[in-house]
Structure 1
Amino acid sequence: MTIRYPVSQPWLEGRELDYVTQTVRDGWLSSQGPFVGRFEQAFADYNGIAHGVACSSGTTALTLALRALGIGPGDEVIVPEFTMIASAWAVTYTGATPVFVDCGDDLNIDASLIEEKITPRTKAIMPVHVYGRRCDMDAVLNLAYEYNLRVVEDSAEAHGVRPIGDIACFSLFGNKIITSGEGGICLTGDARLAAQLKHLRGMAFDPGHTFLHKKVGYNFRMTSMQAAVALAQTERLDEILARRRDIEKRYDDGLAGISGITLMPARDVLWMYDLRAERRDELRAFLAEAGIETRLFFKPMSRQPGYLDAGWPSLKASVFSEDGLYLPTYTGLAEADQIFIAGKVREFYAAA
């Protein structure tokens, strides 16, 4: 069947083509091109943070952040049960162990459950702003201060949520609020951490000799072409966020009062419009027949094959995973299209 309304698609209405054309014309295709630095500075300035370090994906951003903080084998990192698996994988990539904590009603990590999971091996907490909802960072930071832990914010889905941890990591994948197709960026106010992030990102070349490497680094660099797109997107981030607030409001209005649908708490920024649905899989099939694509909620980390021995599956994350989905959510989604989508949801439950 034909997809008329995809879950996501990029909104490229700024200077993306101009900037990419410029970087191609000037021959600056690699990470050495000037657009990388321009994007890093623009995104850092937008967030009021001193340093930005662009990289190849949100996952590599998280991996760099953990490595820059010295996290490795034998260490533990607190990670939400309800998140995309990249959060846990980044911990595993360093040789450390992710320790999972269940979610609250807003799908974010339940900060009241974190302390019981802290051990002498715990070195960091990785809160995730799920679907654009800012998690309880005050509680997270208080625990980090009390137990001398570092905080790595997984902000992959939360461009526009101001970061306050040691390092915040954003994804620029094609379905994110702003995109470069593939890509990511770390933000930090610590100049030493920023220098370490850049060092690890670029193969950990020794400054005294180009081909001397005193530690294991990565080729996690962003190309100038990707940065050109990311810069153009950053220039219009306020407009993008405003358009998405309108989309959230229209869905709220269009889906209100439908028996069988549970609307979720408001989002600080809209990444995806998520909801809970009775007879979810039947609803998805019905919407697909109308050309409307949907996506399931994340599956809890302790239900993932690689982490089945991490503990019993959590209650709330498991329940949400069984009946949650999100609807098409992208900056260019027209009001008429939203009316149609919401109308189809209403039609399904009216027929029932």
Structure 2
Amino acid sequence: MKKYVLLLSVNFMLLLAVVFVTSHSRKHGEMLTCRFTFVSVPADNEIARGVKKADGELGTDTRLRGLRRKDDESQARLLRWAAYSKVDGVVTSGGNDQDGDLARRIEELAQQEIPVVTVEEDIENASRAAYIGPDPAEVGQKMEKMASDCLRKTERTHENVQSSILLLADRAGNSTQERWLRAFRDAASSDDALQDIRILVGSCGVEEAEVRHSIRQLLSDYHGISVICCFSTAASEHLGKLLSEESSAGEVSALTVGMSDRIREDVEEGRTKGTVFWDREREGYEAIRMLKKQLSRNPEEMASLQTVRSNAQQDMPTVYLPVYIADMDSLPDQKKGQDHELEWDLQ
């Protein structure tokens, strides 16, 4: 009998301890374990490494869900799945949301009090909780500086043809890339070296075949292109290779965004002249940290968040990451990632 009484007493004390810890956590806006989902289309190992590093250091648990190729419709479907699965928060990249489907999916999550943090490319006018990514003004300004430097070093081989800079984006509707392009034009308007240079804008898609077709068509339509500035991280993966194979490209200088292994190799081998980049691993880390702060509901934590006025005229917590430029002589040390350890749920 005494054993049973003692066992019941121990169990009762353990139950009281669990109740105390849970109530204390809720009282202070904390959660025992935060369950997040990173929806990435296509699957992005660089950002995912930062996400999993944050899991290890912050005690969160994030599932990696993605596609092998970019597909906005499937991205919206994965966001809807996140709403059904009742996760505590979502990280996702923005992109081309012309029909507003991604914004609607984020609105559904917000209505369920599931915060969404966008990384790299924002989804403007959506009810996202925060944005983590490069400063749009810096991306455009740094790209313009590299383009201007390329033109100064390039001899004009066709004196009767006006030199041109071609700005490439995924396609119409990508609000983040449009802001990068706008910052480029603003910087170019006050650059004496570019006053007589024609600035063209084209779209290129994201898959290799799409980029190849677009490059061929644009080089055929416009003569005198001296520099191509690619503002799409996905298309930047293919640009150096395609231009090296395209005879009509001639002495065109290519500039990209990002610092993947392939983009780095293109710069090292001289297929591209340089790249604009930021710490994409830190993007993932900061996104998870931001979600955890959002869920804490701790007034001190919330007050520490930097806010930026969004298009919806609301103060939105934002982390702008520093933006850098690199050419063949200034490439940073290569990060050794362990991508084989990333467990993706690929659709």
- Which TM-score bucket, shorter chain as reference? 0.3 to 0.5
The one of the two structures with greater contact order (alpha-carbon pairs below 8 A, sep at least 6) is 1
Q: Which has the larger radius of gyration?
A: 2
Higher helix share: 2
Give the number of the structure whose residues are more often strand, by fraction.
2
